[in-house]
Amino acid sequence: MRMPVSSTVMSRAEHVPGRALDWRVDRIRRRTSDYNRTVFHGGGNTMTMTMRLSAVALLSVLAVSGAWAQTGSDRAVTEAQYEQWKAELTNWGRWGANDEIGALNLITPAKRLEAVALVEEGFTVSLAGDADTVEAVDNPRPYQHEMVGISSDRISVQYHGIAHTHLDALAHINDDGVFYNGYAPDADEVIANGHPKNSIHNLKNGIVTRGVLMDIARLKGVPWLEPGTPIYIEDLEEWEEQAGVRVSSGDALFIRTGVWPRREAEGPWLRGRRPGGSQAGLHPSVIPWLKQRDIALLGSDHPTYVSPSELPGA
């Protein structure tokens, strides 16, 4: 069973074994490198979903000064530095006090035209992950599907977490109850009526931009990164050098670690921020680099961050 998702227009790709990239595409012509340039498209109220992503975050709080842009992979990120980033390195107000789409503003008409110009063969490829109906340590709330008649069914999914492909709205990410652009709703009102601001409905017209997939497991010559493996700035830049592709403003950036082939081979394990959780992912020191490149979306086959981490909340 597959979750309903929007389709994806591919300019180039190659088959990567494993559940995380269930593309089955081997025939698309290459242009300038051995890696992918993908145009991700979604329409109507359908959320754009990619690979078997456990989450895609709209970048809402990142910005960077010239000094931080030049620091490279300064791996020692303290809690004090992280708090300083939250105060100084912010996108709040960048597109006005009433903005509700954050870094998606970076996807300009010119960026969309640049993206669609990459398409050569014009067929679509689903990057949806299979809907997981089996409860496990990393899937405590499995997807539920019930037939209630010969032509009717009932579907239930609590998709936030690390098991189900989804796109996070800006009404999902908060710091002590305060969301993008200073939006601080009353919790009881939200539970009763939903979010009046920063909702996923702001993306109802879909997202079209260039997608860049960084297969870090392949870069390292392994089927998957072992849990707890951090990904640093130098890893991202090594991928760029080998691929001949530079991440640029308005891109959708996707990081592959190989979570799903490892899970298939060795079974589920505790991931995420819960005590004892372990997974490969981006090190907190990557934050300034992401803003330096001004990406519009960040996604992965895992929740994007390394765990355990010295900064569990980063």
* Lowest mean pLDDT, pick from 60-64, 150-154, 243-247: 60-64
User: 102-117: per-residue pLDDT in tens?
Assistant: 999 999 999 999 999 9
Give the three-state DSSP class for 176: coil
CB 168 within 8 A of CB 58: yes
- Between residues 313 and 31, which one has the greater pLDDT? 313
Q: How confident is the model at residue 45 (pLDDT cuts 50, 70, 90)?
A: very low
**Tell me, what's the pLDDT at 85?**
85
CA distances, 106 to each of 12, 49, 60, 198 (Å): 23, 19, 12, 17
Closest listed residue to residue 116, CA positions, set 38, 31, 204 = 38
Degrees, nearest 5: CA angle 120-123-124: 125
| Distance of alpha carbon 148 from alpha carbon 130, whole angstroms | 21
Separation CA 259–CA 279 (nearest Å): 8
pLDDT tens digits, 3-18: 333 333 333 333 333 3
**Residue 116 has what pLDDT?**
95
**For range 167-179, the mean pLDDT:** 92
Q: How confident is the model at residue 57 (pLDDT cuts 50, 70, 90)?
A: low
Q: What pLDDT, on a 0 to 100 scale, did the predictor assign at position 19?
A: 33
Range with the poorest average pLDDT among 42-51, 87-96, 121-130, 166-175 = 42-51
Mean pLDDT for the stretch of residues 293-308? 91
- Considering the entire predicted model, what is its pTM? 0.78
Q: In the numeric block, which tokens belong to residue 211?
A: 């997608």
